[in-house]
Amino acid sequence: MTTREDAAREAAALGEQLRRHAHLYYVLDAPELPDAEYDKLFQRLQALEAEHPELRTPDSPTQRVGGKVLEGFAKVRHKVPMLSIRTETDITPGGASAFDARVRKELGLAEDGPQVEYVCELKFDGLAVNLRYEQGVLVQAATRGDGEIGEDVTQSIRTVQQIPLRLHGDAPPVVEVRGEVYMRRDDFEALNERQREKIAAGQKNEKVFVNPRNAAAGAVRQLDPAIAASRPLSFFAYGLGEVSSPEQGGPDCATQFDWLQQFHAWGFPIGAQTQRARGAIELIAFHETIARQRDALPYDIDGVVYKVDSLELQRRLGFVSREPRWAVAHKYPAQEQLTEVLGIEVQVGRTGKLTPVAKLAPVFVGGVTVTNATLHNEDEARRKDVRVGDTVIVRRAGDVIPEVVGVLPESAARPAEQRGPVFTMPRRCPVCGSDALREEGEVDYRCTGGLFCAAQRKEAILHFAARRALDIEGLGDKLVEQLVDANLIRTLPDLYKLGFTTLAGLDRMADKSAKNLVDALEASKKTTLPRFLFGLGIRHIGESTAKDLAKHFGKLDAIMDATEEQLLEVNDVGPVVAKSLRTFFDQAHNREVVEQLRACGLSWEEGEPAARAPKPLAGKTFVITGTLPTLSRDEAKDKLETAGAKVAGSVSKKTDYLVAGAEAGSKLDKALELGVAVIDEARLLEILENGL
């Protein structure tokens, strides 16, 4: 038997050898050791750890094989939110120019000023994850989730060979590396070939995967990490979450590109095509180069990503809503294929919208097999003259719903008797039989059945239960379908009348699941006014608008009784939103639903309406720089915006005042150059109190 000391020394040496050879094989694609020799080293380390279990560390190469099956995913709150990136709507090279122009405008750069430096990357088609390392060791991996809260997938991520369990070289006390878990095309095809063999052999519960992204994401989000271990997953690093400051031992990186090089030094693969670019011309060149290479790449991408390289400029540019101003995803023209229209059906959405959908002969487009494609509305279907039996061009761009672009000319030229009838939208809802009406100025028909329409009930309940609304965990698509189809739920308040016995008696509903749902329903009764408003599914009322309404009126009854004129006083509420709100609460059955929900125990804190204070600084633009004596920048910004001022991030000719504190930098120089009035905190407070 090997002594403890000898075993420890040998295990440490084997671990270093195996990590080095795994990095050469999986990351650098430059193996130095035959597979059989690697296996011998691996098996020897396994034997040592079996003999001395205390030597089995979290970063051991043996810990990649998948651990115990989980009962459920734990929630992880991201220390730094995983925000989404804006998608450039102009898919031509002009989209790159538009992004550069926006950046220059936000930075206040003149047309003849210096070019902005960017980092150009590929937009990988996989699953975004956040990897947390403490003292260089992987301690947690989480999905993006809603950007604030993700799912703990550490056990599955440990099986991805390209992700180091221990960072190479010096590591800070804490660092979070973000990137994409994906599957190469050749690995995907090999996986599907194995799946087809299993199916042919009669193995049940096996399937052929639709595309690499779903196969990769599905593997990571399995409760059994052995499933992830059995699939050939890969990884690219591209972003940063929480990290120790340089003073605390973190790297002192000044640019996005520097961070990418640091990721590579720590042992992560980064995109080989990643490069720096200066100005719009070089962004366009990168976009066009990758477009030519796209089909030859060993993995799927749906576009490229541009990021301002300087971290200081990123901070200056900041964010708008939940998206950074300093980055954009620039997609490529949609991929298209030909197929046949087998039928045209009408689907009813959550808000009652009727949408014609072409049923297609299956066709592989943009990485997925497509059998349905939207025709958008009656006018669009007639404009394109899509009929049953036609050969049509189907387009799918990224995750956008597939659409019928048009009819193949040869198919459209057939004699009328050889084509199906011209599409006409039914004047009654195909689900509940209620009238389908088209409002003046609208292109869509909508069912008037409201909560009486089964199609709308299902979607309305799912929306009500969603994470950003009432957050009723466990109330998913299949369960809602069962509950509605069994006539156990006709309106939202019926949710809160469900008991344990009823739920436990449903198909595929165990006692534990039933109890968890009852508990989740009870917990959801304590909510907030914005969440409740958003959960009602009122047309045009998103999360942001719901928050503005709650802040402005303070109480639900005040919102329900507000006139259109009063609603128009709310920030960002225009005529369309005001009319939609008024129409919703003018319906007696909608008010009845609200009152029944209150009677079921739903409650939230309410307050007084926001003060309708005058806006003495309306029309004025301020910029804040440096450290103020008593106010934080956020506090100063809030005070200015409350007074009606706009607070910008950079100085330009349109700036009225620069509020300068200690250590004011380039913004002060710019203000003096442009003749912008410069004030200190004392003068700012005086203006806020007495006006200009």
Would you please indicate which residues are annotated as catalytic (active-site) residues? 123
Query: What is the DSSP secondary structure assignment for residue 617, as one 8-state letter?
Result: T
Query: CA 86, CA 106: separation in Å to the nearest integer?
Result: 16
**Which helix H or strand E contains 660, and what residues bound it?**
strand 657-660
Q: What are phi and psi of 172, to 5 degrees?
A: -75, 165
Task: Identify the three-state secondary structure at position 26.
Answer: helix
Nearest to 228 by CA among 302, 289, 323, 143: 143
Rg for the chain, CA atoms, rounded = 29
Residue given tokens 């920030």 in the structure block? 571
Residue 97 burial by Cβ neighbours in a 10 Å radius (0-12, 13-18, 19+): middle
How far from each other are the two terminal CA atoms of the chain, in whole angstroms? 86
Can you read off the two tokens belonging to residue 186? 């050749």
Assess contact for 453 and 431: CB atoms under 8 A.
Answer: yes
Can you read off the two tokens belonging to residue 595? 């009152």
**Which helix H or strand E contains 76, and what residues bound it?**
strand 75-77
Handedness of CA 643, 648, 649, 650 (dihedral sign): negative
Q: How many CA atoms lie within 13 A of 653 on its CB side?
A: 3
Q: Is 16 left (phi over 0), alpha (psi -120 to 50) or beta?
A: alpha
Task: Identify the three-state secondary structure at position 409.
Answer: helix
Task: Identify the three-state secondary structure at position 302.
Answer: strand
Can you read off the two tokens belonging to residue 106? 């936000």
Query: CA 659, CA 681: separation in Å to the nearest integer?
Result: 7
Instruction: Count CB neighbours of 435 within 10 A.
Output: 12
**Which helix H or strand E contains 149, and what residues bound it?**
strand 149-151
Nearest to 391 by CA among 336, 435, 433, 445: 336
Assess contact for 678 and 668: CB atoms under 8 A.
Answer: yes
Assess contact for 390 and 412: CB atoms under 8 A.
Answer: yes
Show Cβ contacts of residue 691 under 8 Å, excluding neighbours closer than 6 positions: 616, 617
Pairing status of strand 174-182 against strand 127-134: antiparallel
Nearest to 649 by CA among 71, 101, 108, 67: 108
Nearest to 167 by CA among 332, 3, 324, 23: 23
